Structures are given as structure tokens and as C-alpha cells.
Chain A
Amino acid sequence: EAQVTQNPRYLITVTGKKLTVTCSQNMNHEYMSWYRQDPGLGLRQIYYSMNVEVTDKGDVPEGYKVSRKEKRNFPLILESPSPNQTSLYFCASSPTGVSYEQYFGPGTRLTVT
């Protein structure tokens, strides 16, 4: 089944403890992206990657890192999480190009205390 998977689905952590949220897709897509969703603010793009070793900032990249060493994986790294990064995170992927649809993962709910 074609899908985007995220792990973990739920995570509660403490301020300053480094964490990684993994994202993997099995559709051989070149493009991958991370979003966060907060009440009243909608979906906001954090980082995106057009292909392996190519990443770029979205609208809210502060406090996050990404890497794209393999085509299928696009992990989101929070090196020193803070409470304002408590949010619902979505990963998405699509083929290259403006006219293709994005496939979204199920989301990761992160709470930083």
C-alpha cells in the first residue's frame, strides 16, 4: 500500500531533550515536506526537500533541522525542544512538479513540557 508513515504518533517530552520524528514514504517520491498545525494558525510549512541532499526552509523553520540522506526518509529533528513546539506535525511527499498531489502522513502529536 502506498503510504507515508510517521513515528512516533504521539510523544511527550521535556524541554531541551533532543528528539527525532521519522517520516518514510514508499512511493519513490522526490519531494517531501514537514508541516506543523496549531489551533487558529492552520498548517504551516517547516522544511521541504526537492530531492536527496536538497532541503530548503518553509515558513517556520526556527528550532528545527532536517536531513535527506535517502529518498524515502525525511526525519525532523528538534535539537532542543521548547514548549512552543508543542504541535501536531505532518509529513508529506509527492512526485516532482507543481501539478502533483501531496500525500500526507497520519501526523505526530508532540507535547513539550
Chain B
Amino acid sequence: DAKTTQPNSMESNEEEPVHLPCNHSTISGTDYIHWYRQLPSQGPEYVIHGLTSNVNNRMASLAIAEDRKSSTLILHRATLRDAAVYYCILRAGGTSYGKLTFGQGTILTVHP
């Protein structure tokens, strides 16, 4: 299974942009890049996903490198509610999409 590597922790100030990196050098052509986050005492929640092109939604943006070996989740203006563990995972295409491996994730601390 393709794996991802993320920094253990990152810090940001409120209302500043945050760039959360993820390396996935063994990604295959049909793997989708998904990001989830887990707020304290809650289950993970979906943030964004993409295949090749950069993606935007109301929560965040996802920038995918041209060779797809890395990606960056961008929170445009961090708030205190964005403090969470952020997970970058690969979801395989074809019939293998069911098996998922979450890494350790990045603990994001947002300072007022």
C-alpha cells in the first residue's frame, strides 16, 4: 500500500494561512489524495480530496505537485476551530479502494 509522510506537528497564528505538507512518493496513477481532520473528542471528518488538479472547497484548498509525489493542504485563514489532527491518506483506485491506511497525521495548533 502506498504510504504518506506528514510532519508530526505544526503551529499557526489565528487568521494566518496554514500550509500542511504531505509526501506520498509511492503514489500510483489511480490513487486519490484525501485529507481528513479530527477535532478533539470527535470522529474524523472529510476535508478535501483530489487526483491531479488543485482543488478548492469551502473548507480548504488542495495543491497537488505535478509529479503527484506530494501535496499541500491550505487553510487560507486559520481559526481556533481549525486546531485538529490532519490526516493525508491515499485511496487506491479500482477494486482496492476499500483498504485505507491513515498515518500519524499532523497536529495543528492555532494560537490566538
Query: Interface residues, chain A, CB within 8 Å of chain B?
Result: 31, 33, 35, 40, 42-45, 48-50, 56, 58-59, 90, 92, 97-99, 101-107
Instruction: Choose from B30, B44, B51, B104 the contact partner of A104 (Cβ within 8 Å).
Output: B44
Residue of A with least CB distance to B1: A59
Interface size on B (CB < 8 Å)?
Answer: 25
Are B102 and A98 in contact, with the CB atoms below 8 A?
Answer: no
Contact A56 B99 (CB under 8 A): yes
**Which of these, A31, A44, A56, A101, contacts B102 with CB under 8 Å?**
A44
Instruction: Name which residue of chain B comes closest to A105, CB basis.
Output: B43
Q: Are B49 and A99 in contact (CB under 8 A)?
A: yes
* B residues with CB within 8 A of A: 30, 32, 34, 36, 42-46, 49, 51, 87, 91-94, 97-105
Show 12 A/B contacts (Cβ-Cβ < 8 Å), sorted by A: A35-B102, A42-B104, A45-B101, A48-B99, A59-B99, A90-B44, A92-B44, A98-B97, A99-B32, A101-B49, A104-B44, A106-B42
Q: Indicate if the CB atoms of A45 and B46 lie closer than 8 Å.
A: no
Residues from chain B with a CB closer than 8 A to the CB of A105 are 43
Residues of B within 8 A of A45 (CB): 99-102
Looking at A56, A92, A97, A98, which has the most chain B CB atoms within 10 Å of its CB? Answer: A98
Structural contact, A42 and B105, CB atoms closer than 8 A = yes
CB distance from B72 to the nearest CB of A (A): 19
Contact B49 A106 (CB under 8 A): no
Pair A42/B99 contact, Cβ less than 8 Å = no
The smallest beta-carbon distance between B29 and chain A, in angstroms, is 12
CB proximity of B28 to chain A, nearest CB, Å: 11
Name the CB-closest residue of A to B43. A104
| Complex Cα gap A105–B51 (Å) | 26
- For the complex with contacts A92-B43, A104-B44, 8 further pairs of A-B residues with Cβ separation under 8 Å are A45-B101, A59-B99, A97-B97, A98-B32, A99-B51, A102-B36, A104-B45, A106-B42
Chain A residues, CB < 8 A from B98: 31, 33, 48-50, 56
Chain A residues whose CB sits within 8 angstroms of the CB of B97 once the complex forms: 97-98
Q: Closest residue to A91 on the B side, CB-wise?
A: B43
